Amino acid sequence: MEIWLLRKDRNGVLEIWHPKGNSLLDDLPFSFDDVTIKTIKNIDVLWIKGRTIIRAFEVEDTTSIYSGILRMA
């Protein structure tokens, strides 16, 4: 699987996690409208296989859990 990390969190994550090969995505492989892509890009972690989101994770510390749940809805 390939992994998407929220851009603003990448540097912190990559200080302790070193992905193997090309598993970390620089861009999402989807053809949705701009509003949908912007929403998806704000999810903290995505596990992607091909053009399918297999799992989505929100890690909440500074924002409310409600906003994280709405993002994935």
Instruction: Using alpha carbons, select from 60, 61, 62 the residue that is nearest to residue 72.
Output: 60
**In angstroms, rounded to a whole number, what is the distance separating the alpha carbons of residues 47 and 29?**
12
Give the pTM. Answer: 0.80
Per-residue tokens: 25? 């995505």
Tens digit of pLDDT for each residue in 2-48?
999 999 999 999 999 999 888 999 999 999 999 989 989 988 999 99
Per-residue tokens: 38? 């912007």
